[in-house]
């Protein structure tokens, strides 16, 4: 089980003892001065918050795994903070020893954790909490007359859950997003990839999938929903590149009712060459052209006249495969850390807070994917803008356990 925990080095300043008459025996902390619950019980894939305290000035703490039912590896240091967040994939009885140093005194106390195999968890996502596609060619792909947003979300979940993982959902242009969750906490095992995110076909030159930023959340307050203050960004391979824009902002304008359409002629491919007006904070503005065969680009359930998104924008060197044509496109997918990157697997240890500080999460319960590319495709008959496609996510540890994909 040693691999399941962060290995931290911790030195206790114990006094030297010997056998001579001039020996100095270090003072020992009275066990009653260390507060630690004797026994705990928790289910697999669930975070157990173990609290402890000790009397004295500025006590230092060291948590040591002294009994491990999985691989029998013991005496590994798994934490050096007052409280410990414990989570494991495997059932059994674990023993932890808490070593304390305070006022040149040392002491220790043990606790036993019984981990039960509560149930067989689903490796794939089981819930959808928000679906917010940005305006684009497929923004209303899931919408049917009379639908509310909740109806569209239910349809979206049916396309990416365990029965049909791999069926792509179109998130539209820059800023389009989806929020999903698991029926358990995906364990963060240091040194291993923990999640797999499924996207679109990177070889598709007619509808190239844009990469999507990944945010993860751990349900710290245990309310079974993703709260705004719980999100952490997964730092991918393009995060520090000079051409990555940190504060990109785009505004999509809803076509006015009765707006005159602009066409090339009665037999033209497009129903409106100036269907939806967009502008960004980089000094660019343009229209999205709507083909005759496609629905409205502006999300039907949106009531506001403008939609504004702001966030990180990646550069994927997007360009036409051949000059003057609008059917085939080249782009450079990021190497790792995004939906629609070359490597789809994610390490939870890549998560950072809004200040770029490593989050050190014990695991995650929720995922948010946001389109982070803004590349209008001009008069393209296949797509209006480079859209992110998301096809689901999975817990890699459970996939490996049952040899799933």
Structure confidence by residue, pLDDT tens digits, 126-137 = 999 999 999 988
Average pLDDT, the chain: 88
Structure confidence by residue, pLDDT tens digits, 6-32 = 333 222 222 222 333 444 445 888 888
The pTM score is: 0.86
Structure confidence by residue, pLDDT tens digits, 234-279 = 999 999 999 999 999 999 999 999 999 999 888 888 899 999 999 9
Distance CA 152, CA 140 (A): 9
Q: Residue 268 to residues 258, 324, 376, 378, 380: CA-CA distances in angstroms?
A: 20, 18, 20, 15, 13
Closest CA to 5 of 69, 71, 87, 61: 87
Structure confidence by residue, pLDDT tens digits, 85-106 = 999 999 999 999 999 999 889 9
Q: What percent of the chain has pLDDT over 90?
A: 67
Domains annotated on the chain, with CATH: 2-116 (2.60.40.10), 127-402 (no CATH)
Structure confidence by residue, pLDDT tens digits, 328-361 = 888 899 999 999 999 999 999 999 999 999 999 9
Q: Which residue in the block uniquely carries the two structure tokens 């060291």?
A: 62
Distance CA 405, CA 402 (A): 9
Closest CA to 5 of 168, 178, 190, 130: 190
| pLDDT in the model for residue 75 | 84
Q: Is the pLDDT of residue 325 over 90?
A: no
Q: Which of 6-15, 29-38, 145-154, 301-310 has the lowest mean pLDDT?
A: 6-15
How many Cα atoms sit within 13 Å of 52 on the Cβ side?
Answer: 32
Nearest 5 degrees, angle CA 284-CA 286-CA 288?
140
């Amino acid at each position: 089980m040693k691999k399941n925990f962060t290995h931290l080095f911790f030195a206790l300043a114990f006094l030297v003892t010997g056998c001579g008459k001039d020996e100095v025996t270090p003072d020992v902390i009275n066990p009653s001065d260390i507060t630690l619950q004797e026994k705990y019980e928790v289910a697999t894939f669930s975070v157990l918050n173990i609290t402890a305290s000790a009397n004295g000035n500025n006590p230092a703490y060291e948590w040591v795994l002294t009994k491990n039912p999985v691989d029998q590896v013991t005496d590994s240091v798994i934490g050096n903070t007052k409280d410990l967040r414990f989570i494991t994939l495997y059932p059994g009885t674990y023993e932890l020893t808490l070593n304390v140093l305070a006022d040149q005194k040392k002491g220790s106390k043990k606790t036993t954790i019984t981990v039960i195999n509560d149930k067989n968890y689903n490796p794939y996502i089981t819930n959808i909490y928000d679906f917010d596609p940005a305006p684009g060619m497929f923004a209303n792909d899931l919408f049917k007359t009379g639908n509310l947003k909740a109806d569209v979300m239910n349809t979206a979940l049916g396309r990416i859950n365990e029965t049909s993982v791999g069926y792509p959902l179109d998130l539209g242009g820059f800023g389009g997003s989806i929020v999903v969750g698991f029926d358990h906490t995906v364990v963060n095992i240091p040194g291993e990839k923990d999640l797999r995110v499924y996207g679109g076909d990177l070889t598709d030159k007619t509808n190239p999938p844009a990469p999507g930023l990944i945010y993860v959340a751990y349900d710290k307050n245990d309310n079974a929903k993703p709260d705004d203050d719980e999100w952490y960004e997964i730092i991918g391979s393009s995060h520090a590149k000079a051409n990555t824009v940190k504060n990109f902002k785009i505004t999509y304008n809803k076509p006015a009712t009765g707006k005159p359409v602009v066409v090339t002629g009665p037999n033209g491919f497009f129903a409106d060459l100036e269907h939806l007006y967009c502008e960004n904070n980089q000094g660019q503005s343009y229209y999205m052209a709507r083909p005759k065969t496609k629905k409205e680009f502006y999300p039907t359930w949106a009531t506001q006249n403008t939609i504004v998104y702001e966030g990180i924008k990646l550069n994927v060197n997007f360009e036409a495969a051949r000059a003057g044509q609008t059917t085939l496109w080249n782009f450079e997918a990021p190497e790792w850390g995004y939906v629609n990157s070359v490597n789809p697997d994610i390490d939870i240890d890549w998560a950072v807070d809004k200040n770029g500080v490593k989050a050190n999460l014990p695991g995650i319960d929720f995922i948010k994917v946001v389109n982070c590319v803004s590349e209008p495709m001009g008069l393209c008959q296949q797509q209006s803008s480079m859209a992110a496609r998301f096809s689901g996510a999975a817990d890699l540890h459970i996939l490996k356990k049952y040899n799933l994909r």
